[in-house]
């Protein structure tokens, strides 16, 4: 599950990292990014042959939905069923994207919020899907996205049994559609490596409220459970339930 994340990287720096060209939108720092907000997404435009950074609404809305409310529930897409589920199948084939983040929040079974970040300091680029939805009344197009999730690596399982899929630079061309890739090859990109360099630590319950959006949300809480960062920690996959998310 991924229901909140951090995006604080300056737009120009993000554009350099992902190799995006063209105008970069004004992207305010988000320390508690939440569903239904407009957030930065990296897409490849086959017509121009370039990558671009755009602001899309978090929560994928399939083209056949009558209103935007349905997208509030589709903030995540299970990697195992992308090609089968009607809501995601076409996007998986042709509308894949990257969602930049500096870390994400997850809630343990006891409802303690944790912040997950890379140990090497690099930003995370989540695998995502995007879709276009046309308002039947105004006839305006709304672009929305979802974040792809997979089984959590062992280090993170004490917190939650799912995690967003993070893609490395060498995987971006295939996922964005710049390089040809079969469904099987795309699916192979969605298994997180066991040695993924991440850590998780407890943070303040202030993150539970969307109205709180400041850098202190990432600060380590006074009391930390060492087991959360031990690679040898044991937990039963699937035993944890989603906590602290909006839905």
Among 110, 104, 80, smallest CA distance to 239 is for 110
Report the SS3 class of residue 173: helix
31-61 residue pLDDT tens? 999 999 999 999 999 999 999 999 999 999 9
Report the SS3 class of residue 145: strand
Return the pLDDT at 185: 96
209-243 residue pLDDT tens? 999 999 999 999 986 544 444 333 333 223 333 33
From 12, 84, 106, 154, active-site residue? 106
Cα end-to-end distance, the chain, whole Å: 11
Give ∠ CA 13-210-205 in degrees, rounded to 5.
Answer: 100
Q: How far is CA 32 from CA 16, 39, 126, 236, 242, in A?
A: 24, 11, 16, 28, 17
Q: Mean pLDDT throughout 111-115?
A: 96
| pTM listed for this prediction | 0.89
Whole-angstrom distance, CA of residue 165 vs CA of residue 160: 14
From 2, 21, 178, 225, active-site residue? 2
Return the pLDDT at 127: 98
Its sign, for the CA torsion 186, 191, 194, 197, is: positive
Among 104, 157, 111, 158, smallest CA distance to 128 is for 104
Task: Give the CB-side neighbour count of residue 3, counting CA atoms within 13 A.
Answer: 19
Neighbours of 6 (CB within 10 A): 25
Whole-angstrom distance, CA of residue 172 vs CA of residue 189: 10
The overall average pLDDT reported for the chain is 89
Return the pLDDT at 71: 66
Structural Rg of the chain based on CA atoms: 17
179-212 residue pLDDT tens? 999 999 999 999 999 999 999 999 999 999 999 9
- Quick one: pLDDT band at residue 70, thresholds 50, 70, 90? low
Return the pLDDT at 153: 96
137 Cβ contact partners less than 8 Å away, ≥ 6 residues apart? none
The percent of residues above 70 in pLDDT, for the chain, comes to 89
Q: Mean pLDDT throughout 7-23?
A: 94
118-133 residue pLDDT tens? 999 999 999 999 999 9
- Is 106 catalytic? The answer is yes
Least confidently predicted of 87-96, 118-127, 142-151, 236-245:
236-245
Whole-angstrom distance, CA of residue 42 vs CA of residue 88: 18
């Amino acid at each position: 599950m991924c229901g909140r994340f951090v995006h604080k990287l300056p737009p120009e720096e993000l554009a350099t990292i992902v190799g995006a060209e063209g105008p970069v939108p004004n992207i305010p720092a988000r320390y508690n990014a939440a569903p239904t907000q407009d957030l930065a997404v990296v897409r490849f435009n086959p017509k121009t042959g370039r990558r671009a950074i755009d602001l899309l609404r978090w929560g994928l809305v399939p083209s056949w939905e009558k209103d935007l409310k349905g997208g509030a529930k589709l903030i995540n897409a299970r990697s195992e069923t992308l090609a089968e589920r009607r809501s995601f199948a076409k996007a998986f084939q042709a509308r894949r994207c990257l969602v930049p983040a500096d870390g994400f929040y997850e809630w343990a079974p006891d409802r303690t919020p944790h912040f997950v970040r890379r140990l090497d300091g690099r930003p995370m680029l989540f695998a995502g899907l995007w879709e276009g939805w046309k308002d039947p009344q105004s006839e305006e197009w709304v672009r929305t996205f979802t974040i792809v999730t997979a089984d959590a690596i062992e280090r993170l399982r004490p917190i939650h049994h799912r995690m967003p899929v993070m893609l490395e630079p060498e995987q971006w061309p295939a996922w964005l559609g710049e390089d040809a890739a079969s469904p099987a090859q795309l699916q192979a990109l969605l298994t997180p490596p066991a040695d993924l360099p991440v850590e998780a630590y407890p943070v303040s319950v202030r993150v539970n409220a969307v109205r709180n959006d400041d850098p202190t949300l990432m600060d380590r809480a006074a009391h930390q459970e060492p087991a959360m960062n031990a690679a040898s920690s044991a937990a039963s996959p699937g035993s944890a339930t989603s906590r602290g998310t909006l839905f």
